[in-house]
Amino acid sequence: QLQLVESGGGLVQPGGSLRLSCAASGFPLDYYAIGWFRQAPGKEREGVSCISSSGYTAYADSLKGRFTISRDNGKNTVYLQMNSLEPEDTGVYYCAANFASNWCNLGVPYDSWGQGTQVTVSS
């Protein structure tokens, strides 16, 4: 069974950090492009970052270098390190796999999605 499970969300103060994890089962994460997306209350879902099978990474321009995506092939897990968090980063964060391509592109449909993990940045 193909499955993605996110974890690591929580409540953090502005300026703090969180590391989200996306653990896969049923398929190898390093064969496909994996993306992180988020949806803030009342807003559309937006792409945050992605990593290709080769390790190429891309980020939304709005992040200003605060987030870093990485992958641990041995653990079949992709991470999103989030630093200098701002209230505007609040939302549900999802990871997803693109089975149609191993190239990182946040503007294309993704096929398999996790259930999401809540990130709340507030003082």
Cβ neighbours of residue 94 closer than 8 Å, sequence gap 6 or more: 6, 36, 37, 38, 39, 45, 113, 114, 115, 116
pLDDT tens for each residue of 107-119: 999 999 999 999 9
pLDDT at 1 over 90: no
CA-to-CA dists, residue 31 to 2, 3, 23, 64, 102, angstroms: 13, 15, 14, 28, 6
Amino acid identity of residue 103, one-letter, is W
Alpha helices in the chain (DSSP H): none
Q: Which two tokens stand for residue 65?
A: 């270098």
pLDDT tens for each residue of 47-105: 999 999 999 999 999 887 999 999 999 999 999 999 999 999 999 999 999 999 889 99
